[in-house]
């Protein structure tokens, strides 16, 4: 999915939508799932050779491991998406390109600062945050943004996500005082 902002009108209310589909580096997870499955299956086959009377039990366990691998595989393919609509920014996680779950949401007005991480690493890293949320594939990408947010309950959150110029423009319209990303 492309990084793009779409402006749509709905019932007289303009929404600024910024869909982002960001694939996280998942090769280590995929290798772990495959490797664990191969090792477990190999152990079961070896045990079945040494204990032939228990072969049906080992076959049942092998089928269980195959099912477990199939079930866990979707958690190795993770994508993140954010939407900015009516002043609210919502982050979702998509597992295996099938199931979606909203994981974090905040009013853009509560953002204290939204900066380019590459331009202001020190300021972003120095922000005293209670929690850090990472919704980007890498810190080294030029379009990785850092949002410093104080929620209504007083918690301070540091968010990392990717954003294009149009997404920055939508954030700037929602909270002009917080966005400190220079135009390219």
Burial class (CB in 10 A: 0-12, 13-18, 19+), 39: exposed
SS3 of residue 147 by DSSP: strand
Per-residue model confidence as pLDDT tens digits over 86-108? 888 998 888 877 788 899 999 98
Helix (H) / strand (E) element for 159: namely: strand 156-162
Model pTM? 0.64
Write down how long the chain is.
184
What CATH number has the domain spanning 6-26+77-174?
A: 2.30.29
Higher pLDDT, 145 or 121: 145
* Predicted local distance difference test score (pLDDT) of residue 21: 46
Per-residue model confidence as pLDDT tens digits over 41-82? 788 778 878 888 877 887 788 788 778 777 777 666 778 888
Tell whether the model's pLDDT for residue 162 goes beyond 60. yes
* Distance between CA atoms of residues 75 and 33, nearest Å: 10
């Amino acid at each position: 999915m492309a990084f793009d902002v779409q402006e749509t009108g709905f019932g007289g209310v303009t929404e600024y939508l910024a869909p982002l589909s960001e694939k996280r580096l998942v090769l280590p997870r995929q290798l772990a799932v495959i490797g664990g499955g191969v090792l477990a299956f190999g152990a079961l086959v070896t045990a079945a050779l040494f204990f032939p009377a228990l072969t049906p039990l080992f076959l049942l366990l092998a089928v269980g491991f195959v099912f477990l691998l199939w079930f866990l595989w979707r958690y190795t393919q993770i994508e993140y998406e954010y939407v900015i609509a009516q002043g609210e920014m919502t982050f979702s996680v998509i597992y295996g390109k099938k199931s979606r779950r909203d994981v974090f949401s905040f009013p853009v007005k509560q953002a204290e600062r939204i900066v380019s991480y590459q331009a202001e690493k020190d300021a972003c890293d120095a922000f005293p945050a209670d929690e850090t949320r990472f919704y980007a594939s890498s810190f080294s990408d030029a379009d990785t943004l850092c949002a410093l947010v104080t929620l209504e309950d007083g918690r301070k959150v540091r968010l990392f996500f990717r954003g294009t110029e149009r997404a920055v423009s939508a954030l700037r319209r929602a909270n002009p005082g917080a966005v400190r990303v220079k135009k390219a």
